[in-house]
Structure 1
Amino acid sequence: MNERSVKHNTFVIEKHYKATPERVYFAWSDPAAKAQWFPKAELFEFRVGGREFNRGGPTNGPIYTFDACYQEIVPNSRIVYTYTMDQGDIRISVSITTVEIKQSGSGTHLIYTEQGAFLDGYDTPEQRKHGTNLMLEALGKRLEEE
């Protein structure tokens, strides 16, 4: 067993997309659109107080569970949610995430801010930021395909 510990961290990732804020918001808020760049949710209730839940992982690897609750939604502008991440039966982090969607010329400036408590060394802020950056790049590729 790892020694009990908590590492607190905040990271920010900024992306520019050649899509309108409405299109970027739709990619976050519609279950079919989101499933094209983020693991498909078993439960997707995009509303304040609603949940998003999915689990999965690499073949023959650990199963990760993402369990989110939407705290604030401002259409085409801001999404705030809290979530837990588990690896198997082990809670590895608890986070609050803010997604800001802003008009930038003919495109969108997205600001993703995550404040996390990373538990017992099972996950690190650096790993989470790397994975989140890959996820936001996948969103950008998906938006470019449209």
Structure 2
Amino acid sequence: MNETTITAQPDTPFIDVVREFDATPAQVYRAWTDPDLIPQWMGPHGFTMELIEYDATTGGRYRYVHRDADGEYGFRGVFHTVVANKRIVQTFQYDGRPNDVSLESLTFEDLGGRTRVRTRSVFPSVESRDGAIASGMENGLRDSMARLEKVLTSQ
């Protein structure tokens, strides 16, 4: 089973995530950018997702809302660079912390039929990064990656 590695070095504003998938870069990229597939895997277990906008092209935008019994949680951002099967650079903003916009860079590394996804999130400060970690984002991220693995297996 593939594990999601999440690294947040002390006193830095970065979060690095690495996960390998038993799928080609084209398959993983499609799951990451197809509005029909996004709600099937993005978000923690037990949450529903409403995808309001998702235009995964350079200059495109996204907005979605996760809901559970305790409430709703909105997220938004802009795609700054989208290179099919290779790289995505986007902003990420949680509506509950509107001043803590992070910049995320994702790469899809071809491992010969498998793919290694690397994500680096850069926050405006260490405090902002620590706030994201304290929010429970690690659990949501791990759940999302496990759900993505299942979506890729079913394709």
Per the normalisation by structure 1, the TM-score is 0.81
**Per-residue Cα deviation, 1:51-75 (whole angstroms, up to 9, x for no partner):** 110113211x232110110010111
Q: In the alignment, which residue of structure 2 is the partner of 1:4?
A: none
Matched positions, count: 135
1:43 corresponds to: 53
Q: Residues of 1 paired with 2:93 and 2:12: CA distance?
A: 14
Alpha-carbon shift at residue 141 of structure 1 (Å): 1.8
The residue that corresponds to 2:132 in the other structure is 124
Identity of paired residues, percent? 23
The structure where strand makes up a greater share of residues is: 1
Q: Quick check: 1:13–1:133 contact (8 Å CA) kept in 2?
A: no
Which residue, out of 24, 33, 38, partners 1:34? 38
In 2, Cα distance between equivalents of 1:62 and 1:93:
20
Q: Which residue pairs with 1:80 in the alignment?
A: 89
Q: CA RMSD in A?
A: 2.1
Letter of the aligned partner of 1:73 in structure 2? V
**Deviation per CA, 1:61-104, whole angstroms, max 9, x where unpaired?**
232110110010111000110021023xx537311111110101
Does the 8 A contact of 2:75 with 2:95 survive in 1? yes
Task: Please give the TM-score of this superposition, normalised by the length of structure 2.
Answer: 0.76
Paired letter, 2:51: A
Three-state SS of the structure 1 residue aligned to 2:88 is strand
Match of 2:110 among 90, 97, 103: 103
